[in-house]
Structure 1
Amino acid sequence: MTFRYLPTTEEDKKEMLDFLGVSSVDELFSDIPEEVRFQGMMKLDEALSEPDLVKFMSGLANKNANFTTHVNFLGAGTYQHYAPSTVNHMLLRGEFFTAYTPYQPEISQGELQAIFEFQTMVCELTGMEVANSSMYDGFTSMAEAAMMAAGHKGKKRVVVSKAVHPETRHVLSTYAYGQEVEVVEVDYTNEGVTDLDSLKVALQNDTAAVLVQYPNFFGSVEDLRALEEIVHAAGALLIVSANPVALGLLEAPGKLGADIVVGDMQPFGIPVSFGGPHCGYFATTSKLMRKMPGRIVGQTKDEDGKRGFVLTLQAREQHIRREKATSNICSNQALLALASSIALTGLGKQGVQEMAKMNVQKAYYAKQELAKVNGVEAVFEAPFFNEFVVKLPVSVSEANKVLLSKGIIGGYDLELAYPELYGHMLIAVTELRTKDEIDQLVKELEAIAHA
Structure 2
Amino acid sequence: MAYLFNTSQDIQQMLAAIGVTSIDELFDTIPKELWLARDLAIPAAMSELELTGHMSELASRNKGLERDLCFLGAGAYDHFIPAVVDHLSSRGEFYTSYTPYQPEVSQGNLQVMFEYETLICQLTGMDVSNASLYDGASATLEAVLLAMSSQRGRTKVLVPNSLHPEYRQVLKSYLQWTNFELLEIPCPDGTLDLEAWRMQLDSSVGCVVLSQPNFFGLVDDLSPISALAKQSDCVVIGVVDMISLGVLASPADWNVDIVVGEGQPLGNPLQYGGPYLGILACREQFVRRVPGRIAGQTVDRNGDRCWVLTLQTREQHIRREKATSNICTNQGLFALRAAIYLALQGPDGLRETAEHCTAKVHYVANQLANSERFKVRFQSPFWREVVIQDLADDVAGLLAYARSQGVQAGVPLSNWYDELSDCFMIAVTEKRTRQELERLVKLLTLAPRRSELSHA
TM-score by length of 1: 0.94
- 1:38 counterpart = 2:16: no
Preserved CA contact (<8 Å) 1:374 1:449: no
After superposition, residues 298-309 of structure 1 pair within 5 angstroms as 298-309=296-307
Q: Give the alignment of 1:138-149 within 5 angstroms.
A: 138-149=136-147
Query: Is it true that 1:395 corresponds to 2:394 in the alignment?
Result: yes
**Aligned equivalents of 2:288 and 2:87: distance in 1?**
36
Equivalent pairs counted in the alignment come to 446
Matched, 1:156 2:147: no
Instruction: Determine helix, strand or coil for the equivalent of 2:64.
Output: coil
Q: CA deviation at 1:54?
A: 1.8
1:396-431 per-residue CA deviation (whole Å, 9 max, x = no partner) reads: 222221111110113111111111111110111111
| Secondary structure class of the residue paired with 1:327 | coil
Alignment of 1:358-377 (within 5 A): 358-377=356-375
Structure 2 equivalent of residue 83 of structure 1: 81
1:162-201 correspondence to structure 2 within 5 Å: 162-190=161-189, 192-201=190-199
CA contact (8 A) 2:99 2:106 kept: no
The one of 128, 132, 138 equivalent to 1:134 is 132
Report the alpha carbon displacement of residue 181 of structure 1 after superposing the two structures with TM. Answer: 0.5
- Match for 1:169: what amino acid? R
Shift, 1:224, TM fit: 2.1
- Which segment is superposed worse, 110-119 or 54-63? 54-63
Q: Distance in 1 between matches of 2:404 and 2:25?
A: 56
Which residue is equivalent to 2:214? 216
Rounded to whole Å, the distance in 2 between the matches of 1:327 and 1:43 is: 44
Q: In structure 2, what residue type is equivalent to 1:295?
A: R
Question: Aligned partners of 1:184 and 1:372: how far apart in 2?
Answer: 38
After TM superposition, the structure 1 = structure 2 runs for residues 45-444 of structure 1, keeping only pairs within 5 Å, are: 45-154=43-152, 155-190=154-189, 192-314=190-312, 315-320=314-319, 322-323=321-322, 325-392=323-390, 393-444=392-443
Aligned counterparts of 1:102 and 1:201: Cα–Cα separation in 2: 50
Identity of aligned residues (%): 39
Q: How far 1:338 moved relative to its partner?
A: 0.6
Q: 1:11 to 1:219 in 2, by over 3 A?
A: farther
Contact kept? 2:258, 2:282, Cα under 8 Å: yes
Could you tell me how far apart the structure 2 residues matched to 1:436 and 1:11 are?
Answer: 68
1:322/1:376 CA distance change after superposition, 3 Å? same
Deviates more, 1:357-366 or 1:45-54: 45-54
Following TM superposition, by how much is the alpha carbon of 1:163 offset from its aligned partner in structure 2, in angstroms? 0.6
C-alpha displacement of 1:289: 1.6
Alpha-carbon contact 1:162-1:194 (below 8 Å) kept: no
Contact 2:110 2:307 in 1 (8 A): yes
State whether residues 375 and 389 of structure 2, in contact with CA within 8 Å, keep that contact through their aligned partners in structure 1.
Answer: yes
For residue 431 of structure 1, what is the amino acid of its counterpart? E
Structure 1 unaligned blocks of 5 or more: none
* CA drift at 1:231: 1.5
In the TM superposition, what is the alpha-carbon distance from 1:9 to its structure 2 partner?
4.2
**Does structure 2 conserve the Cα–Cα contact (< 8 Å) formed by 1:147 and 1:175?**
no
Matching residue's letter, 2:71 = F
Task: Output the CA distance in 2 between the equivalents of 1:31 and 1:422.
Answer: 56
Q: Which runs of 5+ in 2 are unaligned?
A: none
**222-231 vs 294-303, which moves further:** 222-231
Q: Quick one: structure 1 residues 80 and 33, their matched pair in 2 at CA, closer, same or farther if it must change by over 3 Å?
A: same
The Cα offsets for residues 215-249 of structure 1, whole Å up to 9 and x where unpaired, read as: 00000012122222222122212110001111111
TM-score when normalising by structure 2: 0.93
Aligned to 2:414, the other structure's residue is in SS state helix
1:6, CA displacement in angstroms?
8.7
Deviation readout 1:278-299 (Å, 9 max, x if unpaired): 1111111112222222221110
CA contact (8 A) 1:375 1:449 kept: no
CA displacement, residues 95-153 of structure 1 (integer Å, 9 cap, x when unaligned): 21122234312201110000000001111111111111111111011111111111112
Contact 1:163–1:217 (CA<8 Å) still a contact in 2? yes
Partners in 1 of 2:24 and 2:262 — Cα distance? Answer: 52
CA contact (8 A) 1:80 1:267 kept: yes
SS of 2:141's partner is: helix
Deviations 1:363-422 (A, max 9, x none): 111111111121111111111110110011233222221111110113111111111111
446 and 110 in structure 1: CA distance in 2 versus 1, 3 angstrom threshold = same
**Structure 1 range deviating more: 299-308 or 89-98:** 89-98
Is the contact between residue 158 and residue 209 of structure 1 (CA under 8 Å) also seen in structure 2? yes
C-alpha deviation, 1:53, in angstroms:
1.3
- Displacement after TM superposition at 1:41 (Å): 2.2
Distance 1:404 1:8 in 2: 50
Contact kept, 8 Å, 1:72 with 1:409, in 2: the verdict is: yes
**Distance in structure 2 (CA, Å) of the matches to 1:32 and 1:112:** 52
